[in-house]
Chains A and B, each alone.
Chain A
Amino acid sequence: MLEIKGLKVKLEDEDKQILKGLDLTVETGKVHAIMGPNGSGKSTLSYVLSGKDGYEVTGGSALLEGDDLLDMDPEERAALGLFLAFQYPVEIPGVGNMTFLRTAVNAQRKARGEEELSAGDFLKEVRAKAKDLKIDADMLKRPVNVGFSGGEKKRNEILQMAMLTPKMCILDETDSGLDVDAMKLVAEGVNALRSEGRSFLVITHYQRLLDHIKPDVVHIMADGKIIKTGGPELALEVENNGYADILAEVS
């Protein structure tokens, strides 16, 4: 599904290398987790994959089902099936959540040469999916993320994911700012979307999210590279001993 080879990325405006030759392959239908200390480049990886400005790729490649992601506009990557659940979902005053969702869904359908969803079909679908995530009608009516609590914002991200049915989902610290109940709800939403044809890359600081979203593979990232890869037990090791042991072992 996602194949990253030797990815090197620096900040556009500064001479600062963030990713230093990162290799990562996420197979179709699998859930991979990336853990790592602050400043290891986890969020940069998610931004570079989804096409945010401000980064310069100085080497390597990133392919989504064989298509070169790095040459595409963010909207093209989205239409191909890439989705990033933001660590800090953006508030957009003046744009209704429903309008936003419908514009996004239909833009992607159009880009893929599919017919746009009618207002009625869209409404039916969004209501059903919102209900599963305990998102009420009021939240759908309000401007995008404006006045939403931390938990509501993250649930809104998962609702977008559910509506856009991407193939490759990147979750950037989706657990940050969530209490235990909210995290459970979000994890349930994600688990409901797990399928044979859909892959996940879950970026997190803590093991606790991975109690709810059980990963197939866990990677440890430090200083712009994947330094260790293993099974779910690797996350437990981090939880118990911190990163220091792994970092020491690798160096």
Chain B
Amino acid sequence: MAIAKLKSDATEARLAGVTLPDGAAWAQAARKDALARLRAMGLPSKRDEYWKYTDPSDLTAVAAPKAALFDAQEAPLFGDTDRLKVVFVDGVFDADASDVLAGEGLEIMRLSDALAADIHWAKDLYGVLETRGQTPVERPLATLNTALATDGVVIHATGKVSKPVHISYLHVDETSDAILHNLVKVDAGAEITLLETGPGAARFSSCLEADIADTGAFHHVRAQGRDHERRTVTHCFARVGAESTFKSFTMTVNGVMTRNECILDIIGDDAIAHVAGVCVGDGNDFHHDDTVFITHDALNGESRQVFKKVLRNGATGVFQGKILVKAGAQKTDGYQISQSLLLDDDAQFLAKPELEIYADDVACSHGSTSGAIDETALFYLRSRGVPMNVARNLLTLSFMAEALDEIDDPVLAEELRDRLEGWLARHG
């Protein structure tokens, strides 16, 4: 079915004058395929069901809306962690600020280099999981990313990777429009942690495709912020093999537009897939959307979605989460919780939790709540001498604890918790 003219016009307007980045023949073919798929789908609009709660117009506009720069005046995250650092400034690789791209247990290179090579394993991954992830719900912004991504990081974990890879996305240009694409391939028995931090650009699209082989493990910890005016859309597509582990956590601080989509396919038995996040937003221009789709297509899979949002002064939070259990995916254990703490009457939380189950021997639970600070707990703390603001912040942090607990590394979790505590102190 042809798409509506309005949609088609908007898509063509966005693509007018765009040139595909250079690359080897196979990469060019993948990009052209993405372009064709995008034209067939059209860019999303507010009228699409999947964008009912989030207006994508800033993400699809021809030019990136301007975003004022933000001086956080605090030390960069994970500075004390021994890690392999890769830096992009407004989407452009910064060789001087980056470490040498090499490490124990992994092969790592820039995406632009991988896509320029005539023979590279990236051929079997680039745009492949993204394409798979288009059904049953279309994700045209991910396809746009595959077509136009200029760079990114390509990681092949071949063993236990000794230190995390940390991709730092800096933003120093008020009108930058960056599109980056990362690939992660985890071999059987291999294990890697990927850290991502920073705003990226005035408008930033980031797409991650992760292929976790049987018995592999992938840990992903991401921090978005604190730039408020940035517009961000991210996609994470993962294929999760037998007895493997996938764990992704995202902390979002501020931001007028953030849409984080996570699409997980559990294809092997006894796999674990967790995706979690917290966001904190203050002001009626804050908008944050977590959209998750987890498909169980194997036996005995365990999935968890744990999302907590702290919203105040008219901030908006969105959660669309789905667990799809295919016929035959028996003994699936699926858990989904999305909760918001509304610190005043103006903030709003829009949640669409969904379960679709075709197997008859599964345990799936989901819950979604919106609430205020528990007055009884607040009084209890105050009656022990804890001042009102300290008590409120303590309870707010405790509200987010279940999501933070999803981070396996306690040091990383503590660092993010400290940042959240700092935000609460500033916005008390």
A228 at the interface (CB under 8 A from B): no
> A89–B377 Cα gap in the complex (Å)?
9
Majority secondary structure, B binding face = helix
Given A53-B375, A103-B394, are A92 and B388 also a contact pair (CB < 8 Å)?
Answer: no
Which of A51, A86, A92 counts the most B-chain CB atoms under 10 A from its CB? A92
Binds B, one of A8-16, A23-31, A70-78, A185-193: A70-78
Asked if B350 is at the interface (CB within 8 A of a chain A CB), the reply is: no
Q: Is the CB of A51 within 8 A of B398?
A: no
Chain A, range 166-210, C-beta contacts under 8 Å to B: none
Residues of A within 8 A of B398 (CB): 92-95, 143
Nearest chain B residue, comparing its CB with the CB of A91: B377
Among B83-91, B379-387, B407-415, the one that faces the other chain is B379-387
B:388-428 near A, CB below 8 Å: 388, 390-391, 394-395, 397-402
Digit string of B362-388 for contact with A (CB within 8 Å is 1, else 0)?
Answer: 000000000000011101111111111
Size bracket of the B interface: 20 to 34
Which B residues lie within 8 Å of A73 (CB)? 382, 388
For A107, list chain B residues within 8 Å (CB): 384-387, 390
Cross-chain contact B394 with A95 (CB below 8 angstroms) = yes
A93-B401, A111-B385 given as contacts; is B395 within 8 A of A103 (CB)? no
B388 contacts A164, C-beta separation under 8 Å: no
Question: Which A203-230 residues have a C-beta within 8 angstroms of B?
Answer: none
Residues in A with CB closer than 8 Å to B394 are 95, 99-100, 103
Judged by a CB distance under 8 angstroms, whether A108 is at the interface is: yes
Are B390 and A86 interface neighbours, CB within 8 A? no
Q: Mark A96-117, 1 if CB is under 8 A from B, else 0.
A: 0001100111011001000000
Check A104/B380 contact, CB under 8 A, given A73-B388, A75-B386, A75-B387. Answer: no
Is A103 a contact partner of B401 (Cβ separation < 8 A)? no
A-B contact count (CB 8 A): 80
CB of A52 closer than 8 Å to a CB of B: yes
- Are B380 and A86 in contact, CB atoms less than 8 angstroms apart? yes
A53:B379 contact, CB within 8 angstroms: yes
Contact B402 A94 (CB under 8 A): yes
Chain B contacts of A105 at CB under 8 A? 385
Q: B385, B386, B399 — which one has the most chain A CB atoms within 10 A of its CB? A: B385
Would B399 and A104 count as touching, CB distance under 8 A? Answer: no
Is residue A238 contacting chain B, with contact meaning CB distance below 8 A? no
Interface check A90, CB cutoff 8 A: yes
A50 / chain B contacts, CB cutoff of 8 Å: 383
Name the residue of chain B whose CB is nearest to the CB of A94.
B398
Residue contact A78 to B395, C-beta cutoff 8 Å: no
For A77, list chain B residues within 8 Å (CB).
Answer: 383
Instruction: Please tell me if the beta carbons of A75 and B388 are within 8 angstroms of each other in the complex.
Output: yes
Output the least CB separation between A141 and chain B (Å): 14
B379, B388, B397, B399: the one contacting A52 at CB < 8 Å is B379
Chain A residues with CB below 8 A from B395, complex form: 92, 95
- Given known contacts A75-B387, A75-B388, A103-B390, is B377 in contact with A92 (CB within 8 Å)? yes
CA separation between A94 and B402, bound complex, in Å? Answer: 7
Residues of B within 8 A of A126 (CB): none
Kindly list chain B residues whose C-beta atoms are within 8 Å of the C-beta of A103. 381, 386, 390, 394
Selected from B384, B387, B402, the residue in CB contact (under 8 A) with A160 is B384
- Taking the complex as formed, is A2 at the interface, i.e. its CB lies under 8 A from any CB of chain B? no
* In contact, B399 and A100 (Cβ under 8 angstroms): no
Contact of B382 among A74, A83, A93 (CB under 8 A): A74
14 intermolecular pairs with C-beta atoms under 8 Å apart = A52-B383, A73-B382, A74-B379, A75-B382, A75-B383, A93-B401, A93-B402, A95-B398, A99-B394, A100-B381, A103-B390, A104-B381, A107-B385, A164-B385
Binding site for A on B (CB under 8 A): 375-377, 379-388, 390-391, 394-395, 397-402
